[in-house]
Chain A
Amino acid sequence: MKLLTHNMLTSHVRGLKPRGGFPLHIQKENLGQSWGGKLGGSVHFVPSLPPLQCNFAFLLSLPAPVGHQVEVLEGELRCPASGRRFPISRGIPNMLLSEEEA
């Protein structure tokens, strides 16, 4: 899951106040880099970023193209309002809700 993708996702648990599910907090276990070089300042900055409440234009404008190239491979997304966790495995977030939650 690239940061650009993360920026699109929101929690959709029922009963949240409007915009309450965005942005999801990233809890990473394993980050990937999809380019040869290193991000200046190291990839560790990602989990310590405040939730990215920004738009694509901003992400694309960052000096290192962060949104494109930093990926969360294993980890979780946490809903800021409900605390509900959505797992990320092999770069794929599973956002499926149960019957009760939807």
Chain B
Amino acid sequence: VGCDRSKNLVDICGEKNFQAFVCDALSVPIRSGSCDACISIAVIHHFSTAERRLATIRELVRLLRPGGTALIYVWAMEQEYKNQKSKYLKEKNGSKDKEEEISTDVSQRSLSDQMPGSSNQDSACSSQLLSDSKDKDCDAKPVADSRLPVHTNRTSFNSQDLLVPWHLKGCNKKKEERIDEVLLPAGSKGSQELSPVFHRYYHVFCEGELEAACRSLDCVRVQKSYYDQGNWCVILEKL
């Protein structure tokens, strides 16, 4: 069974005949200890404080039965690791706009096949994420500069907390088409500037950060901790 906070994205799962429901990762409507395994792929890095990120992991662990395992993938600060650039960086030239960042912040193998590709629905998703990023966590110390940098897609990260632009291009069926013109009146030039851009909050993780967060929970054992195509990954076991 799958879940996501975006109703529009979950509806797509329904269209494909998958079992899924809409919920918040901080409050999953499933009984404690009822899952053999859970996965959390490219979710936790959207939470805007360390506290909330830890709460998400705690919630994931709550669902597991003793001996159950969880797989967590989050976007890494280090997009180049051991002298290898991640696929996210490598696709800088000639990348299709539709794939921009949505499907490549996770390993490009089987996992990214399951990532939503339709740009129609992503606008609603982005709006929800925008309101997530305005999370008013009053416990946080005031930061000297509380503005979040806006990332340039397909480049290395300069900051752990940032906004990643997402360009809404409108309906498109073929990846190859330049589809900005669909949105605009015939004959208009410079369509690029008129496409709406959404900014999605990310906290990209440093090496060891995800693992440390998992280890801080006392009912958990970290089975495996690794790097995969620009992501930090952990497999944990509920004790």
Contacts and interface: CB of A to CB of B under 8 A. Distances in A.
Interface string B1-31: 1010101001101110101111110111111
Given A5-B1, A8-B1, A9-B29, A102 B21 contact: no
A93 B24 contact: no
A102 B24 contact: yes
Interface in A1-48: 1-2, 4-5, 8-12, 19, 21-22, 34
Nearest to B19: A5
A64 interface: no
A10 B1 CA distance: 14
B22 A95 contact: yes
A82 interface: no
A14 to B, nearest CB: 9
Nearest to B7: A94
B27 A92 contact: no
A97 B30 contact: no
A94 B5 CA distance: 9
Nearest to B26: A102
Nearest to A24: B29
Given A5-B1, A8-B1, A8-B34, A92 B29 contact: no
Interface residues of B, number: 23
Contacts of A34: 17
A10 B29 contact: yes
A102 B55 CA distance: 14
Contact of A94 (B15, B21, B27, B30): B21
A5 B30 CA distance: 10
Contact of B21 (A4, A9, A21): A9
Contacts of A94: 7, 21-22
Nearest to A2: B19
Given A90-B14, A91-B14, A94-B7, A10 B21 contact: no
A22 B32 CA distance: 11
Contact of A92 (B14, B28, B34): B14
Given A8-B30, A10-B30, A102-B24, 18 more contacts: A4-B19, A9-B29, A12-B27, A90-B15, A91-B14, A92-B10, A92-B14, A92-B20, A92-B21, A93-B21, A94-B7, A94-B21, A94-B22, A95-B23, A95-B29, A96-B5, A96-B7, A96-B23
